[in-house]
Amino acid sequence: MNPKNKLAEMPIRPLLYTMAVPLMLSLLIQSLYNIVDSIFVARLSETALTAASLVYAIQFLMIAIGVGTAVGLNALLSRKLGQKKPEEACRAATTGLFLMLGTSLVFTLVGLLFSNQIAAALTNDPELQQLCREYLSVNLVFCWGIFLQTYGQRLLQAVGDTVLSMISLIIGAVVNIILNPIMIFGLLGCPAMGIRGAAIATVIGQLIGAAAALWFNRVKNPVIHVRLKGYRFLWQDVADIYRVGLPTIVMQAIGSVMTFAVNGILLGVSSTAVAFFGIYYKLQNFLMMPVNGLGQAAIPVVGFNYGSGQSDRVKQAWKVLLPTGVVFALCGTAVFLLFPAQLLGLFSASDEMLAFGVPALRIISMTFLFAVITILCGYFASGLGNGMVNMIGGALRQLVVLVPCLWLLIRTMGIDRAWFAFWVSEVIACAYSLWATKKTAKQGEIRQNKKQGAPLNRTHPAKSHRR
């Protein structure tokens, strides 16, 4: 079965799962970049770990732009293939490559010109500033790997090949994991470079992973190819990419802004609180990777079948998506509830961090179910061509409600109870996302029925959560 027929004909449940499993593994592996960095950096000192946590906000911004652009490109490619327009898909893929290269150049220039200023904005502590500068400059200047790796993976995913996408990530992650201790601590004759070594190991892994992803596309992608000969740039392709991609970028970037804002609030409590939040955020991202993998697998499935007018398969996708996500949410909650000390112990947590970190992880973990529903609603709506649900849901859960609520609770109830701010933000975001997804699905079905001249069917995927 070729990729096109697979997306059109394979039963939805096995289709989603066969596409999602490699993506889940890919994202879990990808998150290991930052997890492994933090584990090894923590062995240098808690100050070094705090610096890595502060810089993570900037790293997350790069990831946000790369992933957002790739999500928009993925959705566009899937719709073009569903509409049986492979030539237009190839043109869009070429445009996407130019967008990724241009973005990489911008971040490289920022790293060369403004690393000192960014480090100064992150903290007033001279020691922390120096460590932030060392870690940040390498990640910014050599960011090409993360953008090209993301691009290559999404081209493979658009045609249903998530296995090769996973393999490219595995290659990059293995390189990173091997190089981290060598470059940080100076093993095998390599000079000890401390936190700068962690950054160098990361970018080398990303560059090698990018090379693998691009090579797989060249030799194994049967449908989508980058074609410079006869290429015609169309602003409409850019608009179509960013109609879905820009809200996703904003949504992802909200995580960066949130991290920056929360770090600023927690610095008023202690540097240990900042280090703890950095650990939590990376652990939470790691445990949410299966959910993101499931959601990303849904984008080409929903986009292709929506583009080809197969509304029943779109509905089926929702009915598989939500219950599966709930199972993942409950598993993640159980891990955080049962093993908080062990999770923090991976990062050489001090007694002070364990004292407030263990109850904090347990409080926050009770919101995972709401977070998962919000995330999956965003991906489903993106597959239908509406990226605003993803953006607004992300803004509500990570910034608009969370940050002011956290600030208020710290000042009125103390740090121990401030983590209940996550409960407030996640519930509000979940309620909005369910409503908005229901509306998007209904509007999409109306448009399809008008095209087909069929009577309006008022059932919609989002109602399945009530059954």
For the chain, report the end-to-end CA distance as a whole number of angstroms: 34
The H-assigned helical ranges of 368-420 are: 368-383, 388-395, 402-413, 415-418
- What residue spans define the domains of the chain? 9-451
For residue 324 the two structure tokens come to 């599966």
pLDDT at 451: 62
For residue 116 the two structure tokens come to 């000192």
- pTM of the prediction? 0.69
Digitized pLDDT (tens) for each residue of the chain, 467 residues in all:
455 567 777 888 988 898 888 878 877 877 776 777 788 888 888 788 888 878 877 887 888 888 888 888 887 887 787 777 878 888 888 888 999 999 999 999 999 999 899 998 888 888 889 999 998 999 999 999 999 998 998 888 777 777 888 888 889 888 988 999 999 999 888 899 988 998 999 899 999 999 999 999 888 877 777 777 778 878 888 888 888 788 778 776 777 788 888 888 988 887 788 888 888 888 888 888 889 889 988 888 888 888 777 888 888 989 999 999 999 999 999 999 999 999 998 887 788 888 888 999 999 999 999 999 999 999 999 888 887 888 889 889 988 999 999 999 999 998 888 999 999 999 999 999 999 998 888 876 666 666 655 444 444 444 444 33
Q: Are 203 and 58 in contact (CB under 8 A)?
A: no
Look at the alpha carbons of 322, 327, 328, 333 in this order and tell me if their dihedral is positive or negative.
positive
pLDDT at 463: 45
Contact residues for 214 (Cβ-Cβ < 8 A; gap 6+): 148, 151, 152
pLDDT at 458: 43
Using DSSP's 3-state secondary structure scheme, residue 19 falls into: helix
pLDDT at 447: 66
Q: Comparing C-alpha atoms, which of 134, 61, 69 is closest to residue 97?
A: 69
For residue 111 the two structure tokens come to 């790293």
pLDDT at 465: 40
Using DSSP's 3-state secondary structure scheme, residue 394 falls into: helix
Burial 279-317 (b: 16+ CB within 10 A, else e): bbbbbbbbbbbbbbbbbbbbbbbbbbbbbbebbebbbbb
Contact residues for 363 (Cβ-Cβ < 8 A; gap 6+): 419, 420, 422, 423
Q: Comparing C-alpha atoms, which of 465, 460, 275, 284 is closest to residue 367?
A: 284
Neighbour tally for 347: CB within 10 Å = 24
For residue 404 the two structure tokens come to 């002011």
* Helix 271-307, helix 311-338: angle, nearest 10: 160
Question: DSSP secondary-structure letter at 10?
Answer: S
Dist. CA 57–CA 453, nearest whole Å = 49
Question: Would you give the distance in Å from CA 81 to the centre of its chain?
Answer: 24
Dist. CA 95–CA 35, nearest whole Å = 33
Contact residues for 300 (Cβ-Cβ < 8 A; gap 6+): 7, 19, 74, 75, 77, 78, 157, 158, 160, 383
- The label of the residue with tokens 């808690």 reads 46
How far is residue 190 from each of residues 17, 49, 135, 195, 285, measured CA to CA in Å?
43, 22, 18, 14, 32
